[in-house]
Chain A
């Protein structure tokens, strides 16, 4: 299949071009920061040499220092000497935090619960993709349910305590991994159904898909174990300050709790702080991306060969699915990769602020993917839309009959009968899982 290879290559090249563009954007700031650091180091060594060789008296360095101090204050009066306040990021967080996230939350909740309700009550005969889609909807729903709590706690110095901290951070991680890996499973199932059609009867059984779903959920939980274990609810040590006020010593204890990493020793800290985002980038993004690119390029190739009137629509849907995945997740993962690679390097406040702001915005775009999944995967399908219409019709009828309470018991049994009959009817034409 040479043509599928070409398509795969094109998509890969596009992906690489996107990431290269991302790196070029960052290279400028990186070079700046590297030069900056070198000059800083030489300056500090010079300064320390000076001060240590000429005794430790104040007079030896005070004239030079006062001059330097003035320069420093003139150039950077907001973030004083390396303690960054992240003004830009903070203003973005103040908007995105409550407003954009609540929109994502509401849309995701409506879309995914409709998918779950439709699958739970209406679509009786399920294909492998249906089971995967049901699980994706559950993962996205749990993710969207945890989101407002995480946002609320981060805005209010984490008032919900230790258990909520571990649970929310952990479930965030589990749902992220399971959701994205299940999307890769859907692409594999469609690949088997369309490209490997001869083998599909043997490979596409429902018990297989249930086992695969279970494996993916267990895998997602296992990958999230470090998150469960190392996230902690505590007051960071640097929020407690020892102050001297005119010969009066006082310790200012603030109650600014955070839910962040906390470690017993330095080596684990270094390892886990790099390992957790690296796993997220590789397993949570590049693995599903490569599986999807391989499967969908083979599918497009097969569809283009086939003589079918619906093929153009199918190709379009596949392209949109892949494009949306890349648009939502690639920018965030590039920034995350850059941030992870340069994790322990010193940064100027402007660069750190810009990077945090980029992460905040791009992460929100990545979150949007879980609102788009119901539309991209479920509502695109004709069968699913038919089932979905039935729900509304039945709900409408139920609502009308509900007004007269005398007939309630008969109505419910009627409703149940009709729904089961309809789903039986629907089963006849739901042979293909790749419904469009």
Chain B
């Protein structure tokens, strides 16, 4: 009866530690209506349909939460480009600063 004991132990440990689960990474299931203002977009992530999710989407992070946008729309990719360009500038600035320091 050893396996039964083992399962009881496993089940008990699972039950006892059940209160703090890791958040499951959810997917966008539909695209948002309308468009977001640039000022409230804090960042973005990319959802692809070659992974666990069913549709391609750009997830914009805002103060209020996450919004799912259709990557086929122009404003969505413009917003993504803007964030990317901003990041690029910061990257160049910081790498220049580092060069100066090393010189």
* Residues of A that sit less than 8 Å from B by CB: 40, 43-44, 47-48, 51-52, 56, 58, 61-62, 65-66, 68-69, 72-73, 80-86, 90, 94, 97-99, 102, 105-106, 109-110, 113, 148, 151-152, 154-157, 234, 236-245, 247-249, 252, 256, 258, 260-266, 269-270, 273, 343-344, 346-349, 352
Q: In the bound complex, what is the Cα–Cα distance between A344 and B29 (angstroms)?
A: 9
**CB-nearest residue of chain A to B80:** A242
* Residues of B that sit less than 8 Å from A by CB: 3-4, 7-8, 10-11, 14-15, 18, 21-38, 41-55, 57, 59, 61-62, 64-68, 70, 73-75, 78, 83-84, 86-87, 90-91
Name A68's contact: one of B8, B33, B44, B54 (CB within 8 Å): B33
Name B59's contact: one of A68, A238, A252 (CB within 8 Å): A238
A48 touches B75 (CB 8 A): yes
Name B34's contact: one of A43, A152, A157, A258 (CB within 8 Å): A43
Q: In the bound complex, what is the Cα–Cα distance between A102 and B57 (angstroms)?
A: 37
A61 touches B35 (CB 8 A): yes
Chain B nearest CB: distance from A37 CB in Å?
A: 8
Q: In the bound complex, what is the Cα–Cα distance between A69 and B32 (angstroms)?
A: 11
A98: chain B residues within 8 A (beta carbon): 11, 14-15, 18
**CB-nearest residue of chain B to A109:** B7
Known: A51-B75, A109-B7, A258-B52. A244 touches B29 (CB 8 A): no
A51 touches B91 (CB 8 A): no
Q: In the bound complex, what is the Cα–Cα distance between A236 and B28 (angstroms)?
A: 13
B75: chain A residues within 8 A (beta carbon): 48, 51
Q: In the bound complex, what is the Cα–Cα distance between A261 and B27 (angstroms)?
A: 13
B46 touches A94 (CB 8 A): no
**CB-nearest residue of chain A to B8:** A106
Known: A155-B21, A260-B51, A343-B54. A85 touches B64 (CB 8 A): no
B7: chain A residues within 8 A (beta carbon): 102, 105-106, 109, 148
- 16 further A-B contacts with Cβ under 8 Å, apart from A113-B4, A262-B51, A269-B49, are A48-B74, A56-B78, A81-B32, A82-B57, A83-B66, A85-B26, A94-B21, A148-B14, A242-B83, A244-B41, A244-B83, A247-B90, A249-B87, A263-B50, A344-B55, A349-B29
A256 touches B42 (CB 8 A): no
A261 touches B18 (CB 8 A): no
A80 touches B31 (CB 8 A): no
Name B51's contact: one of A102, A157, A261 (CB within 8 Å): A261
A352 touches B35 (CB 8 A): no
> What are 30 A-B interface contacts by the 8 Å CB criterion?
A40-B31, A47-B33, A48-B35, A58-B38, A61-B35, A65-B36, A68-B34, A73-B64, A80-B65, A81-B65, A81-B67, A82-B30, A82-B31, A83-B28, A83-B67, A94-B18, A98-B11, A98-B15, A102-B10, A102-B14, A109-B7, A152-B14, A236-B47, A244-B42, A249-B90, A258-B24, A261-B51, A265-B50, A266-B49, A344-B55
